Structure 1
């Protein structure tokens, strides 16, 4: 009776194993096959004349599934390795744009590289951070170049910097005149006080002139 019970259980397991053999849902199906194998071991042995036949069918169904899975995975691995090679070549092409001189040309070239990059499929997971990091570094360099170009050519910011520099220059010139006048009148205390004020203004003016240089002014 026990062997007959084992035969019935194993018949059911064989039916499910055969039904799953054509599945392409690789992860869940492989997990289910592992569960079926545990159930098979727990079921005990059927009558000798049935046991071998049931086992061959059960094992055969699994073999069909796992062979198909291996073939797909091998194909996927080969394809992903090829994709990695292509992406590494593109990352190298992008790195040749550094350091960025002609911003407009570099931006257009990077856009073209990026379009080709997007068209390539997945790469092996462990290789992804390194190759993507190389592209991101070039992208960051482009963004930095764009920001400094914008600062250099942005008319409002430039006008503000020029206005501030002009005001400070006028204040410095005026203070110098007042200092000369105070010294001429023999009022050294006033001249010394104005000298200290001039130092502060001159420091601000130097800073503003340095800022203006960023605009190529």
Structure 2
């Protein structure tokens, strides 16, 4: 069972999101908060699998709350759910360590898919923002893939395999099955990849994998 907490200052929005998620028998909403500070306290108390966070809330907003959520429960994945798909919001959310970015205007099935993806250790972006994120990171590369390729060369052969599979959107469990290793081993490799590449989340790592031209092992 995937345990989720919701953070949104609008009660009706929370009710709608709860209804959508509750339609999936594998997801349980275990708490709600109306601002960022309350969210951090709630996460510290219930240690959910996923925190679904709105951006604009009174007091501590959703983006400012992400580091607090990470400190309160390092095992909790964070997915931003918002009406605002501005580049600045997307970049900041991912930079703070969010695992997913979803739009409220999207298909309800995207919401369930996104929650499941981040709960399983993967990353998820609404299709409407995915290309914008990739474009943003591409703009920061000196030359087509050159910088990314240099960073990838610092990885071991196994870490490059893990990065290539991560770049296809696979979760840690799925990568473990592909490489015939235990999931804890994959988690160790993923952590090492993040440190060596200087990234904070799977989306940033996946962009580097694509820029470097990495291909998953057969």
Alignment TM-score > 0.5, same fold: no
State the TM-score, normalizing by the size of structure 2: 0.19
Q: Greater share of helix residues, 1 or 2?
A: 1
Q: Greater share of strand residues, 1 or 2?
A: 2
